[in-house]
Amino acid sequence: MSSHPQLCHSDCDDCPIRHRAVCAHCDTSELEELEQIKYYRSFEAGQTVIWSGDQMSFVGSVVSGIASLTQTMEDGRTQMVGLLLPSDFVGRPGRDGAPYDVVATTDLVMCCFRKKPFEELMARTPHIAHRLLEMTLDELDAAREWMLVLGRKTAREKIASLLSIIARRDASLTKRGMSGPMVFDLPLTREAMADYLGLTLETVSRQISALKKDGVIHLEGKRHVTIPDMGRLMEEAGDDTDGGFLV
């Protein structure tokens, strides 16, 4: 359906994630080295990017679209353990096997680096190693934040938490502020939301309906969401209404 932007980016200077990705701190000469080992790959929504347990031959950054990290038990229960948005890094320098499935949740474009050359480059480029540590610490914070959601929040609070995270990320990407009503499209199916929240898709659907009935959110169609009062949503999420606005 979508036209594939297969190889349309080539210059790092024009890159939409230039200032946030693993290359954020790189200077011109470092970028040149990166350009020599990079290549773009596109995936369609639903495609698996990396299978858990596979050898990983590349690492890379999400340029556009959304990918998810998921774990699956033998009996089929699945838990999403990460949501990868533009500028997020995929891969584990120094590790061989992939610990999770990486799946394209929407159409996805990635900026990939061959793993070996990237590792060598990283070893002699503190700007990259440092940025990667920063990003990994952020991911760890996000994962721990999510442990509170999974372990202690009610279904309604879980949904509100997810909506508030998506709303904030969307605001930070589109540079609309957080004042006034927030409007965005849900990038996840009800099932993907359920996998992220540790719920069933039926419960997700019911709680979204309930939040809608109570006026916390408005829906047009199934995916287009308006949040009239962000403070209200964050109360529903059980979060401190103050602070956290700069995430």
Binding partner of residue 184 among a second copy, DNA, none, CB cut-off 5 to 8 Å per kind:
none
Q: Which helix (H) or strand (E) holds 173?
A: helix 155-174
- Rounded CA Rg of the chain: 19
Q: What are the residues facing 226 on neighbouring strands?
A: 183, 218
- In terms of CB distance, is 208 or 227 closer to DNA? 208
- What is the C-alpha to C-alpha distance for residues 196 and 162, in angstroms, rounded to an integer? 9
DSSP label at 4?
P
| Closest distance to DNA from the beta carbon of 48 (Å) | 15
Phi, psi at 119, each rounded to 5°: -65, -40
Report which of 124, 143, 144, 122 is spatially closest to residue 133, judged by C-alpha positions: 122
Residues lying near a second copy in the complex (CB under 8 A): 69, 71, 73-75, 77-79, 81-82, 92-95, 99-100, 123, 126, 129-130, 132-134, 136-137, 139-141, 143-148, 150-152, 197-198, 238, 240
Residues lying near DNA in the complex (CB under 7 A): 154-156, 189-191, 198-206, 208-209, 219, 222-223
- In terms of CB distance, is 19 or 212 closer to DNA? 212
| Closest distance to a second copy from the beta carbon of 222 (Å) | 23
| Closest distance to DNA from the beta carbon of 210 (Å) | 8
- In terms of CB distance, is 26 or 109 closer to a second copy? 26
In three-state secondary structure terms, 149 is helix
- What is the C-alpha to C-alpha distance for residues 20 and 43, in angstroms, rounded to an integer? 22
- In terms of CB distance, is 21 or 211 closer to DNA? 211
| Closest distance to DNA from the beta carbon of 190 (Å) | 4
